[in-house]
Amino acid sequence: MDAVVAANESLVSELAALNSAVSTCRSCRLAETRTQAVFGSGDPDAELMFVGEAPGFHEDQQGLPFVGAAGKLLERLLGEIGLTRDEVFIGNVLKCRPPGNRDPLADEIEACQVHLFRQIELIQPRVVATLGNFATKLLSGDPTGITRVHGRERDVRLGQTRVLLYPIYHPAAALYTQAMLRVLEEDFRRLPELLGRQQAPVNSVEAVPEPLHSEELAAEEAERQLGLF
Ligand code: URA
């Protein structure tokens, strides 16, 4: 069998196994109130992944992410850069709907993040666009709000996966604020350039180990001179 086909079959089956684990997950209180978990949808091999906040009413009913008004806007923005939702992967920080669409709670994010990190590890996207504050803060590990960081890409390591993290406004917020919509449209238009970008050199990735102390640098230099590396 062709190696690429085999790799893809194994990816699809690992994602299916994760989907099945998510569908029966009872790690937090949201299991009591959900209609169903919403795993996420799209291309398992996507280069571009979107991470929203949590399923809302329609997503909880249909089992698919971004199927309401915010989803329609996301699809329009994708169309404007020549993509469909089937060509990207769309997921959320939380896989289950918080009752009444309230904000996710810290312990729910904590309990659910393992699923998102595993999705990223399996899909290996090149660019992860975080939609709004919850996804941005979780994946950047930085509490700075979306208003300050939107449109600023960062080369980061998420688990073992290096991605370009690209925070943008949440489409639901942009639905009601014209000024925010214009900023979201502008940030969205940069996605093709980010997707085409070469991966940055390893030494520019964030979350690299602490700088070496001078004795360690001296030892490294001595080993280099001895031809050890
Ligand atoms: N908002 C989100 O953050 N996610 C969805 O799936 C739908 C709306």
- What is residue 30's predicted lDDT score, i.e. its pLDDT? 98
- What is residue 2's predicted lDDT score, i.e. its pLDDT? 72
Report helix, strand or coil for 227: coil
- What is residue 5's predicted lDDT score, i.e. its pLDDT? 73
Quick check: 167 and 146 in contact, CB under 8 A?
Answer: yes
Domain containing residue 122:
3-225
In ligand 1, which atom is closest to the CA atom of 135? 3
Q: What are phi and psi of 26, to 5 degrees?
A: -130, 35
129 Cα–ligand 1 center, Å: 13
99 Cα–ligand 1 center, Å: 13
For a pocket test of ligand 1, which of 38, 92, 112, 139 has the largest count of ligand atoms closer than 8 A to its C-beta? 92
CATH number for the domain harbouring residue 191 = 3.40.470.10
142 Cα–ligand 1 center, Å: 21
- What is residue 198's predicted lDDT score, i.e. its pLDDT? 77
Give the integer Cα–Cα distance in Å for 170 and 53.
8
For a pocket test of ligand 1, which of 38, 61, 66 has the largest count of ligand atoms closer than 8 A to its C-beta? 66
Tokens, residue 69: 């008004």
Instruction: Please count the structural domains in the chain.
Output: 1
Residues contacting ligand 1 via CB (< 6 Å): 52-56, 59, 65-66, 70, 92, 172
Q: Count how many Cα atoms sit within 13 Å of the Cα of residue 72 in the half-sphere of its side chain.
A: 4
Give the integer Cα–Cα distance in Å for 69 and 171.
9
pTM, full prediction: 0.87
How far is Cα of residue 16 from the mean position of the Cα atoms in its chain?
Answer: 18
Quick check: 132 and 184 in contact, CB under 8 A?
Answer: no
User: Which residues, other chains included, contact 122 with Cβ-Cβ below 8 Å and sequence gap of 6+?
Assistant: 11, 14, 15, 18, 44
| Other Cβ atoms closer than 10 A to 101 | 13
Task: Per-residue pLDDT tens, the chain, 229 aa: give them.
Answer: 677 777 689 999 999 999 999 999 999 999 999 999 999 999 999 999 999 999 999 999 999 999 999 999 999 999 999 999 999 999 999 999 999 999 999 999 999 999 999 999 999 999 999 999 999 999 999 999 999 999 999 999 999 999 999 999 999 999 999 999 999 999 999 999 999 987 766 666 665 333 223 333 333 333 333 333 2
119 Cα–ligand 1 center, Å: 17
Quick check: 161 and 54 in contact, CB under 8 A?
Answer: no
159 Cα–ligand 1 center, Å: 24
**Nearest alpha carbon, ligand 1 atom 8:** 66
